[in-house]
Amino acid sequence: MMLIDMHLHPIFYKDICQDEEKLEFRKDAFGVWKQSPMDWEEAFVEMDYGGIMKSALLPLDLTTTEGGWIVTNEEVAQLVSAYPERLIGFASVDPHREDALEVLRHAFDDLGLRGLKLNPSKQKFYPTEDCMEPIYAFCESRNKPIIFHAGMSWEPDAPAKYAHPLAFEEVLIRHPKLRCCLAHFAWPWVREMVMLMIKYPNVYTDTSVLYLDSPEESMERLFTVDMGKYWFERAFPKQVMFASNTPRFRAFKLKRALDKIPMRDWARENLYYKNALRFLTGEEDV
């Protein structure tokens, strides 16, 4: 069965780790220090072991809050250009930049990136702020989806108040055609995330949930305790995507855990790849 990982932070791939100063900024801003740069050959072996055909690369622009990028749009485009059959590139922009729309135009039109990644906690904005409306309108005009960080973040200086799932509801009401993924099941606010999916068909989430136990124990809790064990299949089968949050968590371990969650084949296909295609393209029949 094909598998698409919709949440990978490409901070430790050697192709974009040549500058030591930028790498140290990346580690400090993202809050991961113990890992080191790796070759793509190693990464692809790990993807193949987990059955992952494609991974979505997520940059982050922290220009006005921390003075730099964790990974730039150009670096993502460089990686995708080298491995287009395995990688999907997203863009980012700091919403407080005066040239935010120009950054997005370049990312979508010149670099060919497929959507937008934003992190309200790290970028210090509420989803309903006035500066966001032009960004939403621009993404709608280009049929580009947005992945938001939602819920708790382990990253340094990332207050959760900006990323509570209820902070997004007015955006979903105002922009019913804008496809939004509130990542990480908005953990720990899983029930609030479920409520949003029931109410708004344009909102998605993903499985890159913080796990405090083993991946198996955490996915079992997510799909059978935090939610009823039939909720995904019965209520929002087209709104949850497979995602790992690599490098914090390994995709093959998450896949192993999700394989043990009982669900019908069509629901698993949705979770593992069809919902990602719907999110990326806006097309219902995939």
Tell me which residues of the chain have a pLDDT lower than 50: none
What is the C-alpha to C-alpha distance for residues 142 and 38, in angstroms, rounded to an integer? 34
3-class state of residue 239 by DSSP: coil
Task: Give the pLDDT score at 20.
Answer: 86
Task: Say what the pLDDT of residue 45 is.
Answer: 87
- The pLDDT assigned to 78 comes to 96
Chain-centre distance of CA 226, in angstroms? 21
Q: CB within 8 A of 174, min separation 6: which ones? A: 136
d(C-alpha 252, C-alpha 133), whole Å: 37
d(CA 119, CA 153): 9
Residue 34 confidence (pLDDT): 72
Of 77, 80, 171, 73, the residue nearest 120 (C-alpha): 171
pLDDT in tens, 119-155: 999 999 999 999 999 999 999 999 999 999 999 988 8
Beta strands in the chain, from DSSP E residues, in sequence order = 4-8, 54-57, 60-62, 68-71, 87-89, 91-92, 116-118, 146-148, 180-182, 203-206, 240-241
- The Cα–Cα gap between 253 and 274 comes to 20
